[in-house]
Amino acid sequence: MIVLESLTKRYGEFTAVDGVDLVIERGQIFGLLGPNGAGKTTTLRMIAGILQPDSGRVLMGGHDIDSSPIEAKRIMGFVPDRPFVYDKLTGAELLRFAAGLHGMTGEEVERRIDELLDLWELSPWKDQLVESYSHGMRQKLIISSALIHRPRVLVVDEPMVGLDPRSAWLLKDLLRSFVDQGGTALISTHTLELAESLCDGLAVIDRGRIAASGTMADLRRQAATQEAGLEEIFLKITRGATDWEIARVLEG
């Protein structure tokens, strides 16, 4: 459903994403893991068509996001890592706007708006300006805007940031139902417990390159640790800080 071929993005001299190849099958929740600055957000923004790669390509449901952006974006919903939206629109207006961008209007949209706002318990704030929403409420509103047009692919950057435990549980449930109904979800996260419990496939990105990918069993094999949990595998693959380094930082 999502295919990345030699995807590369450079910012001046710095290569943020370096020849990433990845295939994400339909009906999967796929997790992109990596330390800060590894290139996760840049990769996701290229997949969403916000950034254009310097080389390589992204195929979304068979459509090249660069040469056929409209077709590719029509089947996708994107949730960015930081919930910036139009402060001077109300929640309902923002969702109506997002639906309009996907060519949807009328009663069906109004029903969908109510459905989504009810799901996230945002209905009382439906006609309030977004500027009065909390961080978590904005995050829920943006997830709703990504779902308004019933996409086939969801691309979510750091899905749990700002969500309360109940909403986080709800989102996990929603993502699972979404893929069970034939959707495909790509999420980036630092939360290893979430990735381990939710994702069908995983890729660890480090310094712009895919360091390991596959199922949990594949990752264990690549990290050469049979019994380890995802945290240990992650640290091994990304060469995390040693005990000695931590002790040195904490010394008076």
Partner 1 sequence: MSLFSEYRLLLRPKALSTRRRGAGEKGRLGRVALVVGIGAAAWPLIYVAIYRLLRSLRLVEEVGPLLAAKLLALGLLVFLGILLLSNLIAALSSFFLSRDLPALRAAPVDWLALYTARLTETLVSSSWMVVLMLLPILAAYERVYHGGPVFLVVALGAIVPFLIIPAAVGSAITLVLVRLFPARRSKDILGIIAVGAVGLLVLLLRLLRPERLVNPEAYRNLVDFLAALRGPSSPWLPSQWGADALTGYLQTAFDPFFLALLWTTAGATVVLGAALHRRLYPACFSRAQEGNENRMRRHAGWRWLERLLRRASLQRQELILKDVRIFFRDTTQWSQLIILAVLIVVYIYNIRVLPLRSGEMITRYLIALVVFLNLALSGFVLAAIAARFVFPALSLEGRTLWLLGSSPVKPGAILGAKYWVGAVPLTFLALVLTVVTNLFLGVQAGLFALSLVSVVGLSLAFTGQALAWGVYYPEFETENAAQIPTSIGGLLFMLGAVASLSAVLAGQIWVLREYLASGLPGRVPRDPYLSEIVLALTLTLGLCLVAGFPPYRAAVRRLGRLGR
Smaller CB distance to partner 1: residue 145 or 188? Answer: 145
The full DSSP string for 65-105 is TTTSHHHHHHTEEEE-SS----TTSBHHHHHHHHHHHTT--
Residue 89 binds partner 1, judged by CB under 8 A: yes
Site string for partner 1, 5-44 (x = CB under 8 A): ------xx--------------------------------
For the CB of residue 102, give the shortest distance to partner 1 in the complex, in Å. Answer: 6
Separation CA 157–CA 248 (nearest Å): 33
Separation CA 146–CA 194 (nearest Å): 20
Residue range at the interface with partner 1 (CB under 8 A); choices 97-105, 114-122, 167-175, 229-237: 97-105
Q: Which of 85, 68, 66, 221 is nearest to 146 (CA)?
A: 85
| Contact assessment for residue 2 and residue 47, using Cβ atoms and an 8 Å cutoff | yes
Smaller CB distance to partner 1: residue 31 or 49? Answer: 49
Member of 132, 181, 197, 242 binding partner 1 (CB under 8 A):
132
Segment (H or E) for 7: strand 2-11
How many residues line the site for partner 1 (CB under 8 A)?
Answer: 41
For the CB of residue 5, give the shortest distance to partner 1 in the complex, in Å. Answer: 18
Separation CA 13–CA 36 (nearest Å): 19
For the CB of residue 90, give the shortest distance to partner 1 in the complex, in Å. Answer: 5
Separation CA 158–CA 215 (nearest Å): 20
Member of 7, 85, 185, 198 binding partner 1 (CB under 8 A):
85
Member of 25, 108, 118, 127 binding partner 1 (CB under 8 A):
127
Number of residues in the chain: 252
For the CB of residue 190, give the shortest distance to partner 1 in the complex, in Å. Answer: 20
Q: Which residues does 98 contact at the CB level (< 8 Å), separation at least 6?
A: 145, 146, 148, 149
- For 165-177, give one letter per residue: b (16+ CB within 10 A) or e: eebbebbbebbee
Site string for partner 1, 44-83 (x = CB under 8 A): -x--xxxxx-x--------------xxx-xx-x-x-x-x-
Binding site for partner 1 (CB under 8 A): 11-12, 45, 48-52, 54, 69-71, 73-74, 76, 78, 80, 82, 84-86, 88-90, 93, 96-98, 100-105, 127-129, 131-132, 145, 155
